[in-house]
């Protein structure tokens, strides 16, 4: 059976905060939000292409919804919630391509569903990339 092609950046994308390189202050800020239960209603990750904005957003979403968060606030990557997020199948973490979904109908569709409670996790998260 032939192997499925995968972009190297996606294949080796960090799966824990510990494995993120060059973003120590951001990781500390996100972990402190979890540690002190001071999670804001929105986060804006900015920077040039390839600095880890989407990766950190996904890790944060995973940590917020992880059912077995480690003592050092790392997602376990093994619970049902983590596995759903890793596979892109989570009903509580919705990723939206902002460049393709910027019309008024797209925004209305988001605002119609944004008020729904999370189905499995603690938080419902929209990542607009």
Q: How many angstroms separate the CA atoms of 31 and 37, rounded? A: 10
Name which of 73, 50, 51 is nearest 63 in CA terms: 73
Lowest-confidence segment of 29-33, 68-72, 113-117 by average pLDDT: 113-117
Domain regions of the chain by residue span? 21-128
Q: Looking up tokens 């390189």, which residue turns up? A: 21
pTM of the model: 0.87
The yes or no reply on domain 21-128 and CATH 3.40.50.300 is yes
Provide the 10 A C-beta neighbour count for residue 31: 16
What number of residues does the chain have? 129
80: tokens are: 């049902």
pLDDT of residue 51: 92
Encode pLDDT of 60-97 as tens digits. 999 999 999 999 999 999 999 999 999 999 999 999 88
Residue 84 and residue 112 in contact, taking contact as beta carbons nearer than 8 Å: no
SS3 4: coil
Residue 124 and residue 64 in contact, taking contact as beta carbons nearer than 8 Å: no
């Amino acid at each position: 059976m032939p192997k499925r092609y995968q972009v190297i950046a996606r294949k080796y994308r960090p799966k824990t905060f510990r494995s993120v390189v060059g973003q120590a202050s951001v990781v500390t800020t996100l972990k402190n939000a979890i540690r002190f239960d001071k999670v804001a209603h929105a986060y804006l990750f900015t920077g040039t292409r390839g600095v880890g904005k989407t990766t950190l957003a996904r890790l944060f979403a995973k940590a917020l919804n992880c059912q077995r968060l480690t003592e050092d606030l790392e997602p376990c990557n093994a619970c049902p919630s983590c596995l759903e997020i890793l596979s892109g199948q989570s009903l509580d973490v919705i990723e939206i391509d902002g460049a393709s979904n910027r019309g008024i109908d797209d925004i209305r569709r988001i605002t119609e569903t944004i008020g729904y409670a999370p189905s499995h996790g603690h938080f419902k998260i929209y990542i607009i990339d």
